[in-house]
Structure 1
Amino acid sequence: MIILFVILLHCIGSIIGRDEISVSTSLPIKSVECPVGYSHIHGHCYKYFQNAMRYWDASKTCENNGGYLVIITDETALTDVLDFAKDAKSWWIGLHIVKNKGSGKPTINDFRWSDGTKPNYTDWTYTFPRDITRYGSCVRMLGNTGGWENRHCLRYRLPFVCESPGIVVTPTTITPTISPSDVCPSEMYYLDGGEIYSPGYPLGYASHLTCVYELVCHIGETIKLEFEDLNLSGNSTITLRHMNGEQTVVDYVIDMNTAERKFNTTVSNVMYVEFRSGPAGGSWMFRWSKQTDESITCPPSYIGHNGYCYKFDRTPLTYSMATMACMRDNAFIASIGGVQENEYVNLLGGESDALWIGLKIGDQSVWADKSDSKYRNWMEGYPKPKTYYGSCVRMNIIKNGKWQNVPCEWIQLPFVCKKQGK
């Protein structure tokens, strides 16, 4: 019997990563072949781009070239990348902040690499990382020292180094072995689907364990969990929850009879699967996969969600210029039909401070796409008199998606385009 959960995650960033599974393996010697244009250095594949770009444009360029912004996990990799890009004064690397703190000095737990993993090695220059508001959320590497600094993702245009996992050539088949029954997997991040097992599977797990598995998705994808084996000993639990732990999705998976469900996450692009064992002796295994909304067809760069197609554009523009940019795609700046859509557009905004939505206030407030939505999510004290504050509306990402009316042409912001799906 199969227990099936379908969890809908609205993610804040596109993360290209490496597939990891929780069983340990006995590995033969491997070799790595790099894609065309990449250089092979100490088991890694690197490609340097001299054209200066904003951080997220650089990230997209790496993705289009079969890779991701470079990940540096130790001093050897640091030296290799420093030598590889030595002609530049500084360049983007794949480290960035994943939470909207708004202000203050970030901690190491606020950062993630471009494959979603937490950094276990850093090389910050003196006094860095610094306050997010003044210095930014993305990380550059200095060519003279190899030191790192957090800088504004959209204000800086820098060269960058992409990394590709390459093609792993393995002479023999990998033979899985049973992991210890009393040890949680050392790698908690799972990015591309696969199978996840209880400690010691298929044998019984030990007592009094707490293991957390973090499932990472792309924007607009659905994560599906299928438990093919669920044999929990007494008082053992499996819980699905959001990244910050404030909201539980499923409060204990305890049997095989739960119907299909869908959930929205309003926190991040990570869903936690937390396992707590009571007495020893049980076991479980589930498969998970990622899916896009296949019920509608969207143009390139657009993501399907609930019958509509959305595209987040990080380029800061005035309201009128953003309107024209969307109209080139036969789309409009996004209208907001309710709480869930507001949360979705808020998450599409990623680490931006704010973005345009398609509402203009006046004697009769009007949505750009002529929507009749009456939903409003004003920040306390808003809307303010348009004569002094402006008639266009921005969504404040830092303030959990609350709205403010601001001048249409004095401010430049990112924006979300929206159009009907087919």
Structure 2
Amino acid sequence: MTDLPGAGVSAPVSSSPVAQLSLRRNIVYAMVGRGYYAITQFLIIAITARLGSVSDVGALTLATALVTPLFFFTSMGAKTVMTVDDFDRFTRADYVGLRFAGGLIALVASMLTVALIYPDRGWLVIASVAGVALVRFFGAQAALNQAIFQRAERLDYVAASIFTRATAGLAAFALAFWWSRDLPLALFCEAALWFASYWLVDTRLLARLGMEIPLAILRQTTLRRIWALTLWVLPMGFALWLMRAVGSIPPVMLEHYAGLGAVGLFGALAYAHTLMSMVSNAMAGAAAARLRRCAREGRMAAFQSLTRKMMLFSGGLGLGALAVAWVIGAPLLGLVFGPDYADRELFTVIVGASGLALVAATLNTAITALHAFGWRVAVAGASFLAGLAVALALVPTHGALGGGVAFLASSAVSLVMSWGACRLLISRAKRV
């Protein structure tokens, strides 16, 4: 693709007056921020399980399973691609426009989806979908700001943004749910506080980098440029949709075959994957810009070394979590969620699958840094098909455990495919 007119409207973040941090400090800040966010989202699940019913947890899990893939698709991986973009074709304004327009489309698509698929599920499911969609919309806008902070190699700004938003959202959800026992109302309150923290904190952090606030920068782009960016990153958007859809297969099928109670059990235990992936992805996000710089400069030995270190960290995290799940999984689940959730076998399968997925995600970060978006689609597509096939075979007869095995199968395929793709791409890059 040739350079488009106006590509120099928004200067790269590296020209900001704020000094960069070292990679080690950035990784620490990223892990602290994402780890804290994971804890707050885990507490939302725990609060819902303790103060509400298994059906409440099921409704929250089902809503998340429906909404999240839509937002991942319509965002087109804007955050991920922007972090590794050389800014020689598109500008920050183009990415902001894509993320904002995509968020609005995902909001509408979420409500249409629940209206078409679950018209008879009542207020709990429909309103929960609306609440989760609003939370995801404001989160999507904040995520693009975090990409700007990552490009500037200021992950302390990312941590500050996450800490404020996660704390405010958790407090709003907990107070509203404790007072009303109404899940949709609690989600709407969480969304309102996410918007407030986005406006009050992120805009000030952007100002420190010499950036305009997101709504103001929209005047620097056009629909033509946003569409051109959309076509470029479409493979990444499709890959991310497939990747998130893999996690949505078990809840959607469980709701059909076993009801919201089974969805609630699976969703509570599957949040272990969310906790683990947020910590691992924080490290990958902090290193993404550095990986792209190595690839652009032809320093493939450094590229391989950093990728290998991330893989070892993710693999170690997965093995440690697997040991915890097997040894003390049942009492831990009973303590946190209640006796209805103390299923060690299912928990161990989910955590084992998550460990494989973490290593695969690290390799996918390397593939993205090499701008091989087509390979991301191939990996995600194979993983999706594997998960779908196993879920169709096992969920009707084995319930939640069948869903866990489907997640394990998709994670294994993703790891094998991403490892092969990464080796091939690095080998090609060395020959150039």
Highest Rg: 1 or 2? 1
Identify the structure with the greater helix proportion.
2
Range class of TM-score, shorter chain: under 0.3
Which structure has more RCO (C-alpha within 8 Å, separation ≥ 6)? 2
Normalized per residue, which structure has more strand?
A: 1
- What's the TM-score, normalizing by structure 1? 0.24
